[in-house]
Structure 1
Amino acid sequence: MDGNRATSVREQHRFNAKNLQRYLAGKVKGVSDRSVLTVRQYSSGQSNPTFLLQSDGHSYVLRKKPPGRLLPGAHKVDREYTVQKALFSAGFPVPQPLLYCSDAEIIGTEFYVMEHAEGRIFRDMRLPGVSAAERTALYVCAAETLAKLHSIDLATLGLVGYGKGAGYCKRQVLTWTKQYKASAHKEIPAMDQLSDWLMKNLPLNDSDISLVHGDFRIDNLIFHPTETRVVAVLDWELSTTGHPLADLGYFLIECDSVHLVDPNLRSCCNAGFPSVKDLISVYCHCRGIPPSIPELNFFVALSFFKLAAIAQGVYARSLLGNASAPNAAEFGESVEPLAKVGLDVACRSVSLTHSQQLASLQLSSSAETFIYSIYVHNGTYIFCSAFNEHASKYTIQSNCCLFQEVFDYYTKHEHSPQRWVTPPIIEDLKVKARAAGLWNLFLPAVSGLSQLDYAHIAEETGCCVFAPDVFNCQAPDTGNMEVLHMFGSEEQKRVWLEPLLRGDIKSCFCMTEPDVASSDATNMECSLEKDGDHYIITGRKWWSSGKCVCVCMVFPCFRHGQHSMILVPMDMPGVKRIRPLTVFGQDDKGSGFYISVFVCVCVCVCVCVAGEGRGFEIAQGRLGPGRLHHCMRAVGLAETALQLLCQRAAKRQAFGKKLYQHEVVAHWIAECRISIEQTRLLTLSAAHALDTQGNKVARKQIAMIKVAAGRMACKVVDCSIQVHGGAGLSSDFPLAHMYSYARSLRLADGPDEVHLSSIAGMELRDQLKRARARL
């Protein structure tokens, strides 16, 4: 809760702070008879007055009934306390409730106290001050939170008898009609007409029961200070058990229809607002229900009626002098316009949409749409919902577009030095991605994402081989940044990690050697000799890019325990790049791979990562997440290849019928889909194991996905090439380049055969353990 919005207590809400302090002393941490308790009032809120309490470095929030004569059944702070306590115990994001006091002698009314929740509260539904991409993600996050609330089992919460159950919609119409009439200051025909329509058009199924919030909107949510997630849902005064779609309808009108009431809010349709259709898809996917809501107009009309009745009540309290907000008198003017909008919704079968479609999907640059699609996945598990089906159409198009534009650049400069320069479109997109907060998503300590979270993002970026670079999530920089983050000294982090995180420099990883079988790392010959406070490095490495700094795996004298990792600036004297390497005869686009020679390269001992002899230990920590990222990118690549295959099979005709009508092609399509789904699920399982059990326990699963993903990607791309015929080998399609990437994946980070041997060894040990356990 934003303490900056708290002001001095308004005259009509003053109470005896000393009485409160004596009551809280010993019950709430930081409050004693000797401490100084400060009380300030939040300016927001139209119902129960809310106060910020601060004492001895601790902050709390107090909610109480307003003083004076109140409408019957309103301002039930005891219900707020009860439901928050149940939800907090269930792990749902609410501030922790601490105590409830029914004794009106303490401060004049009953009240309860809860923990102060830090974060962002947006009082303006347009969410000013955030990027369009984050604005979209915040609304999506709100929809997910609402779905999570409606998915909680009432018995688990211990709230089976909390409300009256079935018949909620009818009770809502009757309740708000009663509340409106009790506070009405004049006749408003639109309110009476809307009430009548609602009673005559109640949903046929009014027995769908869950815990409902009753006032679910953006300004009742506290978002994390920097992340796109809800840390607390506030204001449970109207909560009960009833039809969950009443909450959804109320939330949706804020996203789409409020600008009809206030012309000043028409700008809410600018970039960054998801359409109602998309939000419904997100909500329904998270709840596991069909996305079709035939009676949506009833719930939206009910929400407008409820808003109008609330506005009337706020205005009535202003007349009585006990309103919580200083602008309460203005609410009387909004009752009739709200009722008229509700009537307009009621009298037509509506499907709410923005007056403009989701702006992110209308950008002229399809690559900017790609940035949007990744942001949607940030911190969520949506990867096959209807929402993504809407976005994926644009994602595939933008991926192909991005690929073609970048590939055309490299083709144009194939024989010039410009082929080693990053194309302008990539640099432009980097600026936009970083401004949108889509930067270094792979690193949990920076992004807050788990490996399972990032796996979905890696799949999306894998759809285009150039995409990871846009978000500073490209190999080998990701692995090297992980090494420095986990094992680097403070000085190494300052000199190398921070510039890498900013995207100011690039790195490479030097392990493989041309003169030995590097699949057995103990064969490495690149040597490291200590000379006082310096090391001398001598040897040959290859498949290293010509970048600013390399993480070099070297071999001082003995086997596993003696390998070390050294940071070597590529402009050091003695570091020579002999010649660029090609993959299937083509340059690696962007930076290129080289044979590099280290001729008596002298570096300070301070560049040794984590100390001498820890190279293998560091490599295992680096390769787990890195292999996972490679595999999910391979899934994304395969999805694009299958998309292209299906498009080609549907368009081309041979021997009197479409290609997909030939049984062999149909079988390829089916087998490709099966392989992709199998690999995705296996990789997500490995990501979960990595998150929950760590690198060591997840080793077998990581090795399995490394084999499965490379084989799968090769198979799918090869089938797509076959369906495209000669075109599949040309630069007119990205398939040839995709195949070279997929085939090299079966060698990168160790060939399949090494992983298979490891898997077999681990499986035999696991079987032996199980056999012993059965004895």
Structure 2
Amino acid sequence: MDELTTPVREQHKFSVTKLLNYLSVNSWVSNNDAVTVRQYSSGQSNPTFLIQTPSKRYVLRKKPPGQLLPGAHKVDREYRVQNALYSAGFPVPQPLLHCTDAEVIGTEFYLMEHVKQGRIFRDLRLPGVSAAERTALYVAAVETLAKLHSLDLASLNLEGFGKGSGYCRRQVSTWSKQYSAAAHRDIPAMNELSNWLMKSLPAKDDEVTLVHGDFRLDNLIFHPTETRVIAVLDWELSTTGQPLADLAYFLMHHYWPVNISLSSMRIPTVCDLLSIYCQCRGIPSGLPHLNFYLALSIFKMAGIAQGIYARHLLGNASAPNAAQFGQCVEPFAKIALEIAQRLVAVTSFYLLIVTTHTLYNNMHACVQVKAREAGLWNLFLPAVSGLSQLDYAYIAEETGRCLFAPEVFNCQAPDTGNMEVLHMFGSEEQKKKWLEPLLRGDIRSCFCMTEPDVASSDATNIECTLRRDGDSYVINGKKWWSSGAGNPKCKVAIVMSLGMNLFLRHGQHSMILVPMDTPGVKLIRPLTVFGQDDAIHGGHFEVHFENVRVPAPSIILGEGRGFEIAQGRLGPGRLHHCMRAVGLAELALELLCQRAASRSTFGKNLYQHEVVAHWIAECRLMIEQTRLLTLHAAHALDTLGNRAARKQIAMIKVAAARMACKVVDCAIQVHGGAGVSGDVPLAQMYSYVRTLRLADGPDEVHLSSIANLELRDQLKKMQAKL
């Protein structure tokens, strides 16, 4: 605590005796208690103090002494909003009393509980914290902000706490006035920034939520060992208004000059944090008018810095380094102007992307309607489509030539596998609640099996726990690579969990249905593949389950049946992946040949070079071989069933991914620099097929299975001959 507090500064000293008498009358301390008071070293606005007795600790916040700017340092508003938030279960210190009698310590003040344990990070780069924990801490902060913006003002009794819509105009006006009232010299950049902000106000500014106004990492207290926020501090600037301004204020440090940027510290990117925030609030991704909100945030910081310096000149500043803030105002303004100008083009591009995405979604929905009307719907499921696995294999190959084609026909992963699980193993209640809307395409789903803390290639390592508690199951654990979890339509997850039966190696695990809106289900972060988001279906997410409680009928088939279900799920699913890989490889070979015929080097076309001609021939051989092997596996599934076709499925899982990787790699090589750019689809295709060598188990696991099954078959032949 000593590193966070100092002896009370001379200008902020008050009568400890009067405070003790007041607190004892209100029963917060005993009159006989020895009370010590220390001042928190951080904080530049309302002075904050640690009040200690032999048995208790409190935190006191008060107005600074002396002349104050109009409308500033409203500790009564801080007390009111914290009281409302604490009653609603939002993480704030418990407010205890509010004193308006200036006779007690010289100014109005309020008292709150002292958060006993926790971590406060003053350095935004979080030195000494692992990269994984650093990411999780930032994600927890954004989730907390989204939770704040999702609270209902009426239920908090804070409807009159602010002035409602028009927040951005009021903020520009307020901070322009605050700056002018505190300015010690004329700063042209501040005047220019103020004018730019007033001219660039968002056309639509009618969203109203509770906003913190100063939401920064160092205003949060994190759990001592866990990556979650246990208290949000400093509510002096809180009001009601535009929540996106609050979010931009938290994100603005990502746009600092390169020498102090967070980008080199493996902090989550703005795109990642935006995605998480929007997912938590259930709103469309993105932040329109980003340049305005960032510039407003920095303008506000410049105004705060000017106010701190003004209090230094008056002799009532709250911190010993207040004099330094006078040097920050002009640089802040120049940074804001640079960001505003630099991001105007980015904002225009964002609007174009949003428009294009909307058009794509509308077009996509229209195509889906036509596909369904034509009966081209749920083709993967024999019981619905009437097609055999062999029939569907040819269709899967064609859809493999376009990354979003499976979704047009409601044949996309991971929903296909999840629908197969529910079809084969689900109860009638589960089918009605989840399978039917999935088959209609009304909702989406995700599959949560792989875990970040264990080698999931050995599925018996899975640690996510499942505990029976009366009429419910309680789930705790971490999952990642949960594809589709970020899709707004994703409503349910199938979660592989470790149960209580630890004696049977393959009878320990269960699969259970978890609605995504269940308390305790947390989308931690979207994952990337080769640094890029290749998940057009809603992202590969890390998902945490923290004391997630679901009704007992949510378990699929019964406790300990997880591996049995997994084997039934993976057979058809792997077949679909492999045939799509064949279709993708066909497209890659087409692109290779077109490039080889249209480009020339050293006096002849590329295809006339022997090495390129051999690549073309080898690619054709590999594609044909893999197609035949995959069709053979489809036939085995149809005629022998999942269990008997295990070897064929394992073989195509290895062969198809390897083949597709090699064909796409050759196509990239022939395209040269264009092959790894976004101008042609090869880089995205490669990331997809390279991932297939890990998805549903790495090649090495399948090779071991193939070897064991082959030895078994050979031994049976030998025994038959004897």
Q: Is the 8 A contact 1:28 1:98 kept in 2?
A: no
* Runs of at least 5 residues in structure 2 that lack an aligned partner in the other structure: 348-413, 415-451, 468-472, 484-495, 516-528, 530-536, 581-625, 631-648, 658-692, 706-722
- Specify which of 559, 569, 578 is matched with residue 712 of structure 1: 569
The match for 1:320 among 314, 321, 324 is: 314
**Structure 2 SS opposite 1:235:** coil
Query: Aligned AA for 2:135?
Result: T
Q: Which one of the candidate residues 306, 330, 342 is aligned to 1:336?
A: 330
Displacement of 1:342 in angstroms is 1.1
- The corresponding residue for 2:110 is 112
The answer on whether the counterparts of 1:308 and 1:338 sit within 8 Å (CA) in structure 2 is yes
Per the TM alignment, residue 692 of structure 1 is displaced from its structure 2 partner at its CA by: 3.0
Report the alpha carbon displacement of residue 258 of structure 1 after superposing the two structures with TM: 3.1
CA distance in 2, matches of 1:134, 1:444: 25
TM superposition shift of 1:714: 2.9
SS of equivalent residue, structure 1 residue 198: helix
Q: Counterpart of 1:63?
A: 61
The correspondence of residues 55-204 of structure 1 with structure 2, limited to 5 A, is 55-117=53-115, 118-204=117-203
CA gap 1:736/1:8 in 2 versus in 1, 3 angstroms: closer
Q: What is the TM-score normalised by the length of structure 1?
A: 0.53
In structure 1, what is the Cα distance between the partners aligned to 2:161 and 2:175? 19
Matched letter for residue 175 of structure 1 = T
Deviation at 1:236, TM superposition (A): 0.3
- CA shift in 2, pair 1:631/1:311, >3 Å: closer
**Matching of residues 575-614 of structure 1 within 5 Å:** none
Q: CA deviation at 1:710?
A: 4.2
CA contact (8 A) 2:212 2:246 kept: yes
How do residues 658-677 of structure 1 correspond to structure 2 at under 5 angstroms? none
C-alpha distance in 2, partners of 1:245/1:90?
A: 22
Which residues in structure 2 correspond to 1:484-503 (within 5 Å)? none
- Cα distance, 1:18 vs. partner? 1.3
| Alignment partner of 1:221 is 2:215 | no
Q: Deviations over 1:445-479 (max 9, x none)?
A: 9xxxx96552644858xxxxxxxxxxxxxx99x77
* SS of 1:39 mapped into structure 2: strand
Inter-partner Cα distance in structure 1 for 2:136 and 2:6: 31
CA distance in structure 2 between the partners assigned to 1:85 and 1:701 by the alignment: 46
Amino acid at match of 2:297: S
1:349 equivalent to 2:343? Answer yes
Secondary structure, aligned partner of 1:627: strand
Contact 1:212–1:240 (8 Å) recurs in 2: yes
Measure the CA separation in 2 of the matches of 1:230 and 1:135.
13
Tell me how far apart the structure 2 counterparts of residues 296 and 13 of structure 1 sit (CA, whole Å).
40
Report the CA distance between 1:41 and its aligned residue: 0.5
1:275 deviates by: 1.3
Please tell me whether the aligned partners of residues 631 and 705 of structure 1 are also in contact (alpha carbons under 8 angstroms). no
How far apart in 2 are the matches of 1:12 and 1:711? 74
Deviation at 1:257, TM superposition (A): 2.2
Shift of 1:323: 0.3
Q: Which secondary structure does the structure 1 equivalent of 2:142 belong to?
A: helix
Deviations 1:36-75 (A, max 9, x none): 1111100000000001111132211111001111001000
Is 1:295 paired with 2:289?
A: yes
- Name the residue aligned to 1:13: 12
Aligned partner of 1:251 in structure 2 is 250
- For the Cα contact (< 8 Å) 2:511–2:561, is it kept in 1? no
**Equivalent in the alignment of 2:305:** 311
Which string of whole-angstrom CA distances, capped at 9 and with x for unpartnered residues, describes residues 624-658 of structure 1? Answer: xx3249999xxxxxxxxxxx9xxxxxxxxxxxxxx
Q: Which residue of the partner structure matches residue 765 of structure 1? A: none
Cα distance in 1 between the residues matched to 2:3 and 2:462: 31
My pick for the range that moved more, 53-62 or 182-191, is 53-62
CA distance in 2, matches of 1:152, 1:129: 34
Contact 2:125 2:265 (C-alpha < 8 Å) held by counterparts? no
Give 3-state SS (helix, strand or coil) of 2:103's partner.
coil
Gaps of 5+ in 1: 354-395, 397-428, 434-438, 461-474, 484-508, 512-542, 545-618, 633-643, 645-672, 745-775
| Distance in structure 2 (CA, Å) of the matches to 1:708 and 1:155 | 47
Cα distance, 1:736 vs structure 2: 9.6
- Equivalent AA in structure 2 for residue 220 of structure 1: N
Q: Provide the C-alpha distance between the structure 1 equivalents of 2:291 and 2:281, rounded to a whole number of angstroms.
A: 20
Looking at structure 2, the residues matched to 309 and 94 of structure 1 have their Cα atoms a distance apart, in angstroms, of 26
2 CA distance for matches of 1:89 and 1:191? 40
Aligned equivalents of 1:286, 1:127: Cα separation in 2: 24
How far apart, CA to CA, are the structure 1 residues paired with 2:511 and 2:481? 9
CA offsets 1:654-687 (integer angstroms, 9 cap, x no match): xxxxxxxxxxxxxxxxxxx9xxx9xx9xx99xx8
Rounded to whole Å, the distance in 2 between the matches of 1:332 and 1:182 is 14
**Cα 1:290–1:330 shift into 2, 3 Å:** same
Residue 454 (structure 1) aligned with residue 454 (structure 2): no
Closer/same/farther in 2, CA of residues 432 and 198 from structure 1, 3 Å limit: farther
Find 2:510's aligned residue among 627, 647, 666.
Answer: 627
After superposition, give the CA deviation of every residue in 1:91-135 in whole Å (9 maximum; x if it has no partner).
111111111111111111111111111211111111111012211
2:549 is matched with which residue: 666, 670, 692?
A: 692
Cα deviation, 1:600-629, whole Å, max 9, x if unaligned, reads xxxxxxxxxxxxxxxxxxx9xxx4xx3249
